[in-house]
Amino acid sequence: MTPFRSLYDRVMAWAAHRHAPRYLAAVSFAEASFFLVPPDVMLAPMAMARPARWWRLALLTTVASVLGALLGYLIGHFAIDAAAPWIHRLGYWPAYLRVQGWFAHWGFWAVLLAGFSPVPYKLFTIAAGAVGMPLAPFVVASLVSRGARFFLVAGLMARGGARMQRVIRDSVEGVGWLLLGVGVLAYLLLRA
């Protein structure tokens, strides 16, 4: 039984599909504001499947992600008034005020680091809008961090090419089962 290898093979086939860039742009946009799956999941196999186009794919991912970040910012900006009573009721208002002060002081650097890290970026885009971070530094930090991340991922995958595909395919089954086991263990420990 090799479900992770089968899934990997299917993803690689999808990555070569002629409409794959459209799907990549949609995932990149959605992930920065509300969706759970990071665009790297699509970008990496697409860069391996189309190594000559890696930079275009990275640019598309970056632009779509920054546009999605702007949507996340708007969600935070306009939804905070609706969420404020809940934040008060749950006792998180002092923590929210601390985060607001933190963003006012470190907002650019927070967005810059979050855009490059594996932390869900949508948390920072929504928070930046909720606390009213100035838009220009938000956009610049998003462009720099998301661009650096996506160009790095796409460049490495394209450079690795067929050899990288083989290495990933050969190890995806073990890594998949390991991550599944860690996830189940974490769930059981947190539930207890």
Provide, rounded to the nearest whole percent, the portion of the chain with pLDDT above 70.
Answer: 97
Summarize pLDDT for 34-70 with one digit per residue, the tens.
877 788 888 988 898 888 999 999 999 999 999 999 9
pTM of the model: 0.77
Within 8 A by CB and 6+ apart from 155, the residues are 47, 54, 55, 58
Q: Where along the chain do its domains lie? A: 3-191
Helix (H) or strand (E) holding 171: helix 135-191
